[in-house]
Amino acid sequence: MLAWQRYIGTDSGSLNDIYYAIRNTSGGVVKPVTQFTADTPDYNEGYYYPNLARLSGNRALFVWYRESDGNIYYAVLDSAGNTIKSQTSTGAWGWDPDAMQLSSGNIVVAWSGSMRFVVLDNAYNLIAGPITLSNPAAVTGDAYVSVAADSAGHAILTWMDSDWSYRRNLYYALVDGDGNVLTDPMIFRTSQATEPYIFTSYEGYGNTSYSWTPPSNVDGVAAFNASLFGGPPGGNAAVSVRYANHGATIATGVVLTATLDGNLTYVNDTSGVVPTVSGNEVVWSLPDLGFLDSHDFTLYVQVPSGAPYGTRYPVTLTMTSDGPEANVADNTDSAEVMAARQVFLPLVSRSY
């Protein structure tokens, strides 16, 4: 099912209506382009911001904004385009709605404006709300909400600041299928300033959810952040290193080993731990790693003096622990250091 807003200008005034169409998985027509609403010229009715949510039973929830009363409306259609639930108002003003059916069968509809939401039961009747999410951090207002569902009957709401010239943060709240607010609005991502701004989807597609069961044992991860690092002959190459534990068991006895090509020389690093250097091996004995603990640092190695440009030298990274280890495949990574020409460009700063 597809839905969109269509504008038509007439001598009597403008028309803003919502249309929809349904295609099957092969692209065949199930329902041709059909007008869903009926705006009136020269009367400020207007239907805007259509959005769709997939429902169980091969049905779809239609949500939109009606200008005449400023309210959010919804309806339910089946896969053939037949109306199951006729146009119904949520009884609250707002714009740019989004919706999602939860694992419990209830449906959460949220919208921009004062950041409100309602809950519908599996018969598509309103059972909670409108409920306002108070968010003092959004000093210019809240806008462009996106709704996702987890596997526990919760709705995950994310949105951004309303004022396009003051979009500093992305916000988050967690609600359940009974209308309870489990996590009040909070900042989950910030630009740290008014510029550069931080954005998410304007159309309700800013987030999704997934289920993941972590390994019960240690799951050590050792990785470079790139496959190739450059440094001038006789100079240093900065090699970015990351190590982590993705398992539910605390990793103890953590040891990280970088095996350098015999032509490379260890210079220093930013790990905060003094390594043991023996031949071409650099070994760090690291603190314990809890579940999802992750750390990054930079390893500096010297490129041989007089090395021809383009010469590559392999580096291998390996992480071990007391275990037991859930997945040894991601305990090792490899990269190369290349003798490269460094080019420095001037920077001109202008104030406008």
pLDDT at 262: 96
Give the per-residue SS3 of the chain.
CEEEEEEEEECCEEEEEEEEEEECCCCCEEEEEEECCCCCCCCCCCEEEEEEEEECCCEEEEEEEECCCCEEEEEEEECCCCEEEEEEEEEEECEEEEEEECCCCCEEEEEEECCEEEEECCCCCEEEEEEECCCCCCCCCEEEEEEEECCCCEEEEEEEECCCCCCCEEEEEEEECCCCEEEEEEEEEECCCCCCCCCCCCCCCCCCCCCCCCCCCECEEEEECCCEEEECCCCEEEEEEEEEECCCCCECCEEEEEEECCCCEEEEECCCCCCEEECCEEEEEECCECCCCEEEEEEEEECCCCCCCCCEEEEEEEEECCCCECCHHHCEEEEEEEECCCCCCCCCCCCC
pLDDT at 348: 75
pLDDT at 207: 64
| Separation CA 233–CA 267 (nearest Å) | 14
| Percent with pLDDT over 70 in the chain | 93
pLDDT at 159: 87
Q: What is the mean pLDDT of residues 1-21?
A: 85
pLDDT at 201: 64
Residue-range domain boundaries for the chain:
2-190, 220-339
Q: What is the mean pLDDT of residues 232-237?
A: 96
Question: What is the number of alpha carbons within 13 Å of residue 182 lying toward its C-beta?
Answer: 11
**Which residue is it, tokens 């003051």?**
166
Q: What is the mean pLDDT of residues 288-307?
A: 96
Q: Characterize the bridge pairing of strands 154-161 and 142-149.
A: antiparallel
Q: What is the mean pLDDT of residues 278-296?
A: 96
In this model, does residue 204 exceed pLDDT 60? no
| Separation CA 345–CA 194 (nearest Å) | 28
Q: Does domain 220-339 have CATH number 2.60.40.740?
A: yes
Q: What is the mean pLDDT of residues 55-76?
A: 90
Of 107-111, 136-140, 192-196, 231-235, the one with minimum mean pLDDT is 192-196
In this model, does residue 311 exceed pLDDT 90? yes
pTM of the model as a whole: 0.61
In this model, does residue 344 exceed pLDDT 80? no
In degrees and rounded to multiples of 5, residue 199 shows phi and psi of: -125, 160
pLDDT in tens, 91-147: 888 888 899 999 999 999 999 888 889 999 999 999 998 999 988 877 787 888 889
Question: What is the number of alpha carbons within 13 Å of residue 137 lying toward its C-beta?
Answer: 18
- Under CATH, what is the fold of the domain 2-190? Tachylectin-2; Chain A (2.115.10)
pLDDT at 46: 86
Pick from 39-53, 99-113, 156-170, 245-259 the range whose average pLDDT is largest.
245-259
Q: What is the mean pLDDT of residues 6-25?
A: 85
pLDDT at 206: 60
pLDDT at 140: 80
In this model, does residue 209 exceed pLDDT 70? no
Q: What is the mean pLDDT of residues 19-28?
A: 89
pLDDT at 142: 81
In this model, does residue 205 exceed pLDDT 80? no
Q: How confident is the model at residue 43 (pLDDT cuts 50, 70, 90)?
A: low
pLDDT at 257: 98
Pick from 19-33, 80-94, 222-236 the range whose average pLDDT is largest.
222-236
pLDDT at 180: 92
Average pLDDT, whole number, for the chain? 89
In this model, does residue 14 exceed pLDDT 60? yes
pLDDT at 56: 92
Select the more confidently predicted residue: 3 or 168: 3
Select the more confidently predicted residue: 158 or 166: 158
pLDDT in tens, 168-185: 788 889 999 999 999 999
Cα-to-chain-centroid distance, residue 148: 11
**Which residue is it, tokens 């896969």?**
79
